[in-house]
C-alpha cells in the first residue's frame, strides 16, 4: 500500500472514496488530529453501510468505540493492569511460553508465524483472561472474522464475510457471558473477573471489554513479531540485533513504524469541519491512515528506508490521544521477549523464500506465513 499512500500524500492528502463512502486522510499531522480530536471525530462509528450489520455488537459498548467522558469509565478500571510496571511482572511467564514454543518446533525449516508469532500473544492474553489457551485456534478464527475483508468483493463474498462475523461475535459472546457469570463475586485476579466485578460497567460493557481484549492484541502482536523478523532478515541485521550491536528496542520501534500492524483506524465527523482546507460534513466517515502517517516525509527522513536505530522515531503505530493502545507496553514486551528468545536459540536464521502471503485485510499489515531456515 506504500506507493499508494505516497501518491495520495503528494496529490490528494484528504480525499473522498466514493465506493466506501468515506474520507481518507494520509498526512501525519492530519492523521494525528483525526485520531485525537474526539470532539470533532468520534470513535462511535456507525457500521459499514453495506454490511447489514447492526450496532448491537458488544464491541460498540467497549472503550475503543466510545468517546470521552464515557470512555474513561470503560478504560480506567483496567488501566493499572497494563501499566509498564505491572506488565513487567509477566516477563518470566512470557519467556517460558516462548521457550516452550521453540522446543516444540521440529526440523530446521518451518513457518515462524504458525509456530511462534501466532501462538505467543494468544497464550499470553489467554493467561491474563484465564481462559483456556488450548482453544486458541477458535480464538484466532473469531478474531480473523472480525478484521477479514474478502479479496474479491462481490455481493456473495461480502455477505458470507458478514455472516461469519456475526456468527463469531455470537460465539464469543456466549463464551464470555458464561465466564463472566461464573466469576461474578469471585476473588480470582484475572481480567474477566476484574470486568465481572466492575460495578461501573453494565453486563454488555463487561462483555464488550472481554471480547475487545481477546481480539485487540492478538493479530496485531502476531504481526509485529512477524514483521520485525521479516524486516530484520531482509536488512540482514538479525545478527547485529542478536548481539546487541543494534539496539533491539529501537529496531522494534522501527518495525512498528515501517510495517505498522494496524494501518488505519476510523472515525465519524460529529459536525461540519475541515482538514487542511478540505470540507467534511457532519456524519461522514473518516479513515486515518496510520501506515501512511508513519511514512510521511515531512516527519521522517528517508521514510521508505528501514533504519533500525532511527531516533527520534515519532511513529503512531499505537495511535495517539485518549485511545492510545492500552496494550502497547505488553506488545513491546512480548515482541522483545519473542525476538531475544529466538535469537538466543539459533546461530543462523534465514528467510526461506520470498513468496510471502500478505494478511488479507486493508487494515492489518502482516504475513500469513514466513518460512525460516534455522541452524
Ligand atoms: C487501541 C494498535 C497490541 C489492546 C489501539 C489503537 C491502535 C492499536 C492503533 C488505537 C485505536 C484507535 O485510536 O481507535 C496496536 C498494535 C499492537 C497492539 C499495533 C501490537 C503491536 C495490543 C495488545 C492489547 C491491545 C497486546 C491488549 C492486550 C488495545 C485496546 C485498545 C487499543 C484495549 C483501545 C484503547 C482505547 O480505546 O482506549 N491499539 N495494539 N492492543 N489496543 Fe492495541
Listed by start position, the domains of the chain span 2-374
Q: Per-residue pLDDT for 49 more than 70? A: no
Long-range contacts at 203-207 (CB < 8 A, ≥ 24 apart): 204/58, 204/61, 205/58, 205/61, 205/62, 205/74, 206/180, 207/58, 207/61, 207/173, 207/176, 207/177, 207/180
As a whole number, mean pLDDT of residues 26-36 equals 98
Nearest CA to ligand 1 atom 17: 220
Report the pLDDT value the prediction gives residue 55, as an integer from 0 to 100.
52
Q: Whose CA is nearest to atom 3 of ligand 1?
A: 217
What pLDDT, in 10s, does the model give residues 229-266?
Answer: 999 999 999 999 999 999 999 999 999 999 999 999 99
| Residue 315: predicted pLDDT | 98
Q: What confidence category does residue 53 fall into, taking pLDDT thresholds of 50, 70 and 90? A: very low
For 187-234, the pLDDT digits (tens) are 999 999 999 999 999 999 999 999 999 989 888 999 999 999 999 999
Q: 235 is written with which cell numbers?
A: 536488512
Q: Is the C-beta atom of 251 inside 6 A of ligand 1?
A: no
Instruction: Name the CATH superfamily housing domain 2-374.
Output: Cytochrome P450 (1.10.630.10)
Q: Residue 246 has what pLDDT? A: 95
Q: Is 294 touching ligand 1 by the criterion CB < 6 Å?
A: no
| Ligand 1 neighbourhood includes 265 CB (under 6 angstroms) | yes
Instruction: Tell me the per-residue pLDDT of 310-364, one tens digit each, with 9 for 90 and over.
Output: 999 999 999 999 999 999 999 999 999 999 999 999 989 998 876 678 887 889 9
Q: Which helix (H) or strand (E) holds 179?
A: helix 155-183
**Which of 201, 326, 339, 363 to mutate for ligand 1's pocket (most ligand atoms within 8 Å of CB)?**
326
Closest ligand 1 atom to 65 CA: 37
Q: Helices marked H in 305-350 — which ranges? A: 328-345
Q: What is the pLDDT of residue 56?
A: 62
Q: Of all protein residues, whose CA lies closest to atom 10 belonging to ligand 1?
A: 319
DSSP-derived letter for residue 113 is I
SS3 287: strand
Does 180 have pLDDT greater than 50?
yes
Q: Does the structure show a pLDDT above 50 at 51?
A: no
Residue 19 pLDDT > 80? yes
Q: Which atom, in ligand 1's list, is nearest to the CA of 330?
A: 26
Quickly state the pLDDT bin for 50 (edges 50, 70, 90). Answer: very low
pLDDT score recorded for residue 190: 96
The least confident of 24-38, 66-80, 129-143 is 129-143
- Kindly provide the ipTM of the predicted complex, given to two decimals: 0.98
Tell which one of 260, 327, 359, 365 to mutate to probe ligand 1, the residue whose CB is within 8 A of the most ligand atoms: 327
pLDDT at 251: 98
pLDDT tops 60 at residue 171:
yes
DSSP state of 81: G
- Rounded Cα distance, 333 and 217, in Å: 12
Verify whether ligand 1 is closer than 6 Å to residue 212 (CB atom): yes
Kindly report the protein residue whose alpha carbon is nearest to atom 33 of ligand 1: 326
Amino acid at each position: 500500500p506504500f506507493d499508494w499512500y505516497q501518491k495520495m500524500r503528494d496529490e490528494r492528502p484528504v480525499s473522498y472514496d466514493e465506493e466506501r463512502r468515506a474520507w481518507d486522510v494520509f498526512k501525519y499531522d492530519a492523521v494525528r488530529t483525526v485520531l485525537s480530536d474526539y470532539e470533532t471525530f468520534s470513535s462511535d462509528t456507525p457500521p459499514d453501510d453495506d454490511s447489514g450489520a447492526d450496532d448491537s455488537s458488544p464491541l460498540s459498548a467497549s472503550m475503543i468505540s466510545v468517546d470521552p467522558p464515557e470512555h474513561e469509565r470503560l478504560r480506567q478500571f483496567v488501566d493499572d493492569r497494563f501499566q509498564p510496571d505491572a506488565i513487567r511482572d509477566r516477563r518470566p511467564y512470557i519467556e517460558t511460553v516462548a521457550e516452550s514454543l521453540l522446543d516444540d518446533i521440529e526440523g530446521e525449516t518451518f513457518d515462524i508465524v504458525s509456530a511462534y508469532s501466532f501462538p505467543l500473544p494468544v497464550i499470553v492474553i489467554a493467561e491474563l483472561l484465564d481462559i483456556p489457551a488450548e482453544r486458541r485456534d477458535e480464538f484466532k478464527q473469531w478474531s480473523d472474522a472480525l478484521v477479514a475483508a474478502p479479496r474479491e468483493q462481490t455481493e456473495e463474498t461480502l455477505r458470507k464475510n458478514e455472516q461469519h462475523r456475526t456468527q463469531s461475535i455470537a460465539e464469543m459472546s456466549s463464551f464470555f457471558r458464561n465466564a463472566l457469570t461464573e466469576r461474578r463475586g469471585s476473588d480470582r485476579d484475572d481480567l474477566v473477573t476484574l470486568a465481572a466485578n466492575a460495578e461501573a460497567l453494565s453486563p454488555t460493557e463487561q462483555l464488550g471489554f472481554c471480547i475487545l481484549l481477546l481480539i485487540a492484541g492478538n493479530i496485531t502482536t502476531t504481526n509485529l513479531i512477524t514483521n520485525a523478523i521479516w524486516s530484520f532478515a531482509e536488512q540482514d541485521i538479525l545478527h547485529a540485533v542478536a548481539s546487541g550491536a543494534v539496539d533491539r528496542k529501537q529496531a522494534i520501534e522501527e518495525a512498528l513504524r515501517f510495517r505498522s500492524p494496524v494501518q488505519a483506524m476510523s472515525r465519524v465527523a460529529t459536525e461540519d469541519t475541515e482538514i487542511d482546507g478540505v470540507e467534511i460534513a457532519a456524519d461522514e466517515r473518516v479513515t486515518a491512515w496510520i501506515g501512511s502517517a508513519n511514512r510521511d516525509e515531512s516527519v521522517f527522513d528517508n521514510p521508505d528506508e528501514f533504519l533500525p536505530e532511527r531516533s527520534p522515531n515519532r511513529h503512531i503505530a499505537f495511535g495517539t490521544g485518549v485511545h492510545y493502545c492500552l496494550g502497547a507496553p505488553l506488545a513491546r514486551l512480548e515482541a522483545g521477549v519473542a525476538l531475544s528468545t529466538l535469537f538466543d536459540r539459533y546461530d543462523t536464521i534465514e528467510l526461506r523464500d520470498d513468496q510471502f502471503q500478505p494478511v488479507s485485510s486493508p487494515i492489518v499489515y502482516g504475513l500469513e506465513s514466513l518460512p525460516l531456515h534455522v541452524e
